[in-house]
Structures are given as C-alpha cells and as structure tokens.
Amino acid sequence: MRKRNILVFPAGTEIGLEIFAALQFCKEVRIFGAGQDISNPARFIFPCYHVIPPIYDRDWVSQLTLLCKNLEIEYIFPAYDDVIVALNREAQHFPAKIISSPPETCEITRSKSLTYQRLAPKVRVPAVYRSMGDVPSYPVIVKPDRGQGSIGVTRVDRAADLERVLSSVTNPIICEFLPGDEFTVDCFSDRQRGLLFAGARRRRRTRNGIAVNTITETLPEAEKMATEIGAQLGLRGAWFFQVKRASDGQLVLLEVAPRIAGSMAAHRVHGVNFPLLSIFEEERQPVHIRPNTGTIELDRALGNRYRHSIEYSVLYVDLDDTLIVGDQVNLQIVKLVFQCVNRKRKVVLLTRHDGDVNHTLEQHRLVNLFDEIIVLGAGEKKSDHICETDAIFVDDSFSERMEVSERCKIPTFDCSMIEVLTEQAEPLNVG
C-alpha cells in the first residue's frame, strides 16, 4: 500500500484537527502539520509540526515550497478559508497538489455576495440590501462579505444602530434576518459523477461559529439544494454549506465552503471519511460511500492534552479500586497499560488482592496484560517490590502512594491524575 505524505496547513485550526482525526489511523497516508510559530493545539496532536509563516508574510510561499520538497509532500490540505484561496493562487509554485475545489469556485465561495449572485437562480438566498435606505424592516443581519466563524456577524434591531455597526465591519453586507433553525449540510462530490453524499445536521449550540452540539437529520430539501449548489459551482471533494429557516419555514442559504468542516465528525463516524475520500477523488479513484443508518449527536467541549518531564520505563499499577473499580474495568488504566505496551515499557500489577488474582483478571478479560504480577503477603509493603528509579506507581490509596513516594522517590498517581500520561502529546518536533 503506497503511503502519501499529507501536509495540513494551518494545522492548528478546528479544520486541521478534524483532518488529523480522520486520517491519523489511515494506512494510506502519513500526516504532517504546519503553521505559525504560536501556541496552538496542533503542537500537541500532530507527531511533527513545522513552522511556516502566515500567508500574509512575503516569504510564506518559498518556505512552504521548501518544506513540501523536504518532506516529499504529495498533497496539501488547506485548513482555513483564506488559505484555500491563497494556496490556489500560488499553486504553480508548490511541488504538491492542493486538495480543494477548482480555483474559480474557491474565489466565488470566499465572497458571500458572489456566492448569492451565482446561486440565486437555483436556490433561495437571503435578501441583501445595498444601503440603509433599502432596509424594509428590522431586525437585519450585518456580516463581512469575506468572513468565517461568525466573526463580525451582528444582529441589528434598530435603524439608529445600523450605521454604527456598518462602520465596524470590513466590507459589510446587510442581509435579511432569518429566525429559524440552522443546519450544516456536509457534502462530497465527484467531478464527473456529481454529488455522492449530502448529510444534514442541526446546529443546536455554537461557539465562535463552530457547532459544538450538532445532531444529524434527514432533510430532503437540503439534499436537493446540495445537488444544485454542487453543479452550479463545480464543487468536488469535501465541502459543506449552511442554511437557516426563514419566517415562512423555507431553507435559505447562508454560505458555501469548499473545505472540511470542524464538526464533520458527526458524519465521519457514520462512515464518511471526507479527507480520505477527497484524496481518492483527486487521484480519480472510484469511491463508494455507504454510511451507517441512524442518528448521531455530537457534543464538543474543551479537552486536555499535556507535555511533561516524567520519564519512566516501568509502570506499577494496583488492581482493586484502580484497574477495577466497582466491578468495572477502568478504561483509562487499560489505555495507559497499552500505551506502555506500544512503547515497550514494562507493566507490573502490584496488588494486595484478597482472592485468586488470575481468576479476577479472567473474569474481566484482563489476562496477559502484565509482564509480572506481584501479590503482596501479610505485612509486605509495595515499596519492597519497586527497585527501579525510573518507575511510576498508580494506586487509589493515598497511604500507599505516600509510602512509595517517600521510600522509592518516584512519581505516584491516583486515577484522577493519569490523564497527564494517557493524554500526553508526542514530544515536540518543530521543523
């Protein structure tokens, strides 16, 4: 199986993180990240992060070109709206292909007014008012013509406020207010076969323009819109559009974007891997999409990732109330155990278990996990069996941890602490 070297740029956006989530376990690709020399989540998630200046820097093209040559990058995934346009405008300089729709399509969709003009004959678009005097009633929505993430989008309820709001937005447009539910429609198109997938999801809660709670729905009217939009704009690969219901209940187009959406995971886990399908579409490989049926609700919240200076070659872990809690297997401990297995670190079960340990492990299907099992006898201390200076110890008991810490001088953890180990980022490799 040929592996393709893929670069996500800029990798630290929600778009970039979804591309990584979709491709990280795919045997067909090897994934790299690039972006600015700033703090961002890509530095914790991508195995290798390379510093590239923003597209507004005069040297960004030459530096990105050099990086693509050095890494033998075959495809670049744009992960920000302005970057899609910028990469397509400079495509002749790069030794890698840009995964996106045609350049003309990207230019049109970057402008809401151009998008509305092109699609108005085929789908319903919001009324756009040229000036304050054209507004028939309030409220209205003011937003930048080239915007994303709801930045600069303002509801204006009174004529007296409109001039002030317009002066605060770059290249503003005034649109009719749409009071109904909002949906995103995740799509995939083949350049020859047309639309192959359109799945709607209701945007039930948003933050900074990103749907942090979204639920899949069957929405035939949106699927019909998808066919028209895809054909009119010549979209290919992964793309999406957003719609909202007007006061009469009809769906009205808000925007179209020729890229991955941050919450496309709701359909990815149904079986539609948009980034991988987009690579295959670029290569003109035949693709077939057969998603699972049913409803998916996706809820997103802040998560934790860590870097730390703890180095260890041996993990000692307790059984009762640590690996097994209330007759349930602690999945985070199992994750830590297999993380050690993958990294060739020794794992020792160190327990005072009252009963047949092997039987208990068999009951919970935990056999053959450990390099060594030590069952303490009466009066023995756990520290008596820990001889390595580069070990760590996980136990629910504070007194056990205290004794091991004082005597063995090693880091100790309870179950609330181990996420620093299981959610550990790869060591930073900045190019």
Express each pLDDT in 379-400 by its tens digit: 899 999 999 999 999 999 999 9
Average pLDDT over residues 55-64: 96
At 430, is the pLDDT very low, low, confident or very high (cuts 50, 70, 90)? low
pLDDT digits (tens, 9 = 90+) for 237-283: 999 999 999 999 999 999 999 999 999 999 999 999 999 999 999 99
Neighbouring-strand partners of residue 315: 347, 392
Residue 87 lies in a domain: yes
Residue 193 lies in a domain: yes
Same-domain pairing of 215 and 285: yes
In the numeric block, which tokens belong to residue 162? 């409109």
Residue 195 lies in a domain: yes
pLDDT digits (tens, 9 = 90+) for 325-358: 999 999 999 999 999 999 999 999 999 999 999 9
Q: How far is CA 357 from CA 166, 320, 327, 381, 397, in A?
A: 71, 10, 14, 18, 19
Same-domain pairing of 257 and 327: no
Work out the number of other CB atoms within 10 angstroms of the CB of residue 327.
7
Whether the CB-CB separation of 142 and 169 falls below 8 Å is answered with yes
Same-domain pairing of 20 and 63: yes
At 209, is the pLDDT very low, low, confident or very high (cuts 50, 70, 90)? confident
Residue 139 lies in a domain: yes
- So what's the pLDDT on residue 281? 98
Residue 305 lies in a domain: no
pLDDT for 431 beyond 60: no
Residue 307 lies in a domain: no
pLDDT for 414 beyond 60: yes
How many angstroms separate the CA atoms of 21 and 1, rounded? 21
Same-domain pairing of 358 and 389: yes
Q: Residues of 14-27 as b/e, b for ≥16 C-beta within 10 angstroms?
A: bbbbbbbbbbeebe
Greater confidence (161 vs 30) lies with 30
Same-domain pairing of 319 and 410: yes
Going by the DSSP 8-state scheme, the letter that residue 132 receives in this structure is: G
Residue 33 lies in a domain: yes
How many angstroms separate the CA atoms of 205 and 300, rounded? 10
Which residue from 327, 324, 326, 325 is spatially nearest to 349, judged by alpha carbons? 324
Neighbouring-strand partners of residue 394: 317, 413
How many angstroms separate the CA atoms of 231 and 336, rounded? 49
How many angstroms separate the CA atoms of 297 and 368, rounded? 36
In the numeric block, which tokens belong to residue 52? 């590239």
Average pLDDT over residues 127-137: 91
User: Which residue range(s) make up the domain with 88?
Assistant: 4-99
CA 236 to chain centre: 21
Count structural domains, the chain.
Answer: 4
pLDDT digits (tens, 9 = 90+) for 169-178: 888 899 999 9
How many angstroms separate the CA atoms of 105 and 108, rounded? 5
Same-domain pairing of 95 and 157: no
Which residue from 407, 377, 376 is spatially nearest to 391, judged by alpha carbons? 407
144: preceding bond cis by omega (within 30 degrees): no
Work out the number of other CB atoms within 10 angstroms of the CB of residue 429.
11
Q: How many CA atoms lie within 13 A of 134 on its CB side?
A: 9
Which residue from 225, 247, 120 is spatially nearest to 176, judged by alpha carbons? 247
Contact residues for 277 (Cβ-Cβ < 8 A; gap 6+):
188, 237, 238, 287, 289
Which residue from 152, 193, 195 is spatially nearest to 175, judged by alpha carbons? 152
pLDDT for 425 beyond 70: no
Same-domain pairing of 183 and 243: yes
297, 326, 349 — which closes off a domain? 297
Q: How far is CA 252 from CA 60, 125, 213, 255, in A?
A: 38, 5, 21, 10
Q: Which of 131-135, 248-252, 414-418, 425-429 has the lowest mean pLDDT?
A: 425-429
The CATH number covering residue 245 comes to: 3.30.470.20
Same-domain pairing of 235 and 153: no
The CATH number covering residue 392 comes to: 3.40.50.1000
The CATH number covering residue 47 comes to: 3.40.50.20
In the numeric block, which tokens belong to residue 365? 């299907």
Q: What percent of the chain has pLDDT over 90?
A: 86
Q: What percent of the chain has pLDDT over 70?
A: 98
Same-domain pairing of 169 and 250: no
What crossing angle do the helices spanning 112-119 and 220-233 adopt, rounded to 10°? 100
CA 329 to chain centre: 28
Same-domain pairing of 184 and 229: yes
Whether the CB-CB separation of 223 and 198 falls below 8 Å is answered with yes
- So what's the pLDDT on residue 234? 97
Whether the CB-CB separation of 300 and 332 falls below 8 Å is answered with no
- So what's the pLDDT on residue 126? 96
Contact residues for 422 (Cβ-Cβ < 8 A; gap 6+):
332, 335, 336, 339
3-class SS shares of the chain: helix, strand, coil, % to 5 = 30, 25, 45
pLDDT digits (tens, 9 = 90+) for 82-131: 999 999 999 999 999 999 999 999 999 999 999 999 999 999 999 999 88
Which residue from 187, 188, 218 is spatially nearest to 202, judged by alpha carbons? 218
Going by the DSSP 8-state scheme, the letter that residue 427 receives in this structure is: P
Whether the CB-CB separation of 241 and 125 falls below 8 Å is answered with no
Going by the DSSP 8-state scheme, the letter that residue 93 receives in this structure is: G
Going by the DSSP 8-state scheme, the letter that residue 292 receives in this structure is: P
243, 266, 297 — which closes off a domain? 297
Same-domain pairing of 192 and 288: yes
Residue 188 lies in a domain: yes
How many angstroms separate the CA atoms of 346 and 343, rounded? 9
In the numeric block, which tokens belong to residue 371? 């390099």
